[in-house]
Amino acid sequence: MTTAAAADPQKLIASAINSISSIATLPEVTQQIIRTVEDPRSNAQQLNKIVSHDPALVTRVLKVVNSSFYGLPGQVSSVERAIVMLGLNAVKNIAVGASMGQLFRGVKLCEGFTAKDLWTHCIGVAVVSREIARQLKLPLADEAFLAGMVHDVGLLVSLQVWPEKLTQVCIESKQGVRTFCEIERDVIGVDHQQLGLALAQKWQFPRSCQQAAGFHHEPQLLADGSRTLVAIVAAADQLCCAEKVGFWLTGNMESVDPALLSGSGVTTTVLDQVRPRIGELMQAASAFGA
């Protein structure tokens, strides 16, 4: 057993989260947006007021709103109009994406992959999760998109705290002998799911996002009532890794296991319908910076 594997995982996680600086907290405006939309008493006017106070955020939100991703008729020139047409949750997702996208910049993960590739993967999982939810006719499309977008945030922690160890994990993963998570737990002492759960909790993300970040490789560990959304993200993640969308090593040596999807409603038939459309979905999501 390595020294990393012998360390107390909870102490490692707490130490890592406490030591990070640039990603320890999301921008205040993003936190306000999440709190506002999650509050059932809030309304469109409150969200519009928060977003409108950040001109750069307004620009990014309108860029996505007017992209082919939403396919709205005509140009939308105000955040208020965007909220009316898309709803609070969709605008929240765009705002969170605009903030998070800034964190995935200019750093090399390992040979052949940068942090931008990781963001591309996260957007891929987001749009595929959204599409799977739609195919299943579940009222979870916006929630699935956000959960997919944040599923790999734990890797941001590893990238900042243990960059050399993360590179080592990537190198071994390319050998195709063990899964990425197994290697992480051996080399680092914790995997990106454990780190992602802790970071999503610190960011005060919705519980569904916390669970997606913490269990997207092991949805079967969740209770039946909590498994559907995470199973959707898990399936989307494995599809995107198989299609090599962005940083795909986390899905190396894994495949879509019907047993993991048991009770979630996700079927191989649905996945077969979505798989050929991944390229098209990614192109439509290009406004997110993927």
List the end-to-end C-alpha distance of the chain, in Å, as a whole number: 38
Contact 249, 174 (CB under 8 A): yes
Residue 3: predicted pLDDT: 46
- Say what the pLDDT of residue 265 is: 80
d(CA 59, CA 65): 10
Segment 46-55 shows an average pLDDT of 90
Is 119 within 8 Å of 57 (Cβ atoms)? no
pLDDT confidence of residue 260: 66
Average pLDDT for 120-146 = 95
Contacts of 269 (CB under 8 A, 6+ apart): none
Res. 35: pLDDT tops 80? yes
For the cut 60, the answer to whether the pLDDT of residue 170 exceeds it is yes
pTM of the model: 0.92
Mean pLDDT of the chain: 90
Q: Which of 7-16, 77-86, 102-111, 161-170 has the highest mean pLDDT?
A: 161-170
Evaluate if residue 1 carries a pLDDT over 70: no
User: How far is it, in rounded angstroms, from Cα 257 to Cα 122?
Assistant: 21
**Residue 27 and residue 99 in contact, taking contact as beta carbons nearer than 8 Å:** yes
CA dihedral 147→24→248→187, nearest 10 degrees, is -130
**Dihedral angle at the C-alpha atoms of 141, 53, 38, 78, nearest 10 degrees?**
-40
- What is the rounded distance in angstroms from the CA atom of residue 142 to the CA atom of residue 69? 13
Residue range 252-288, pLDDT digits in tens: 888 877 766 666 788 888 999 999 999 999 999 999 9
**For residue range 65-120, what is the model confidence (pLDDT) as tens digits?**
999 999 888 899 999 999 988 999 999 999 889 888 888 887 888 889 999 999 99
| Domains, the chain | 3-23+103-288 (1.10.3210.10), 24-102 (no CATH)
Q: Average pLDDT in the 165-179 region?
A: 95
Position 238, amino acid: Q
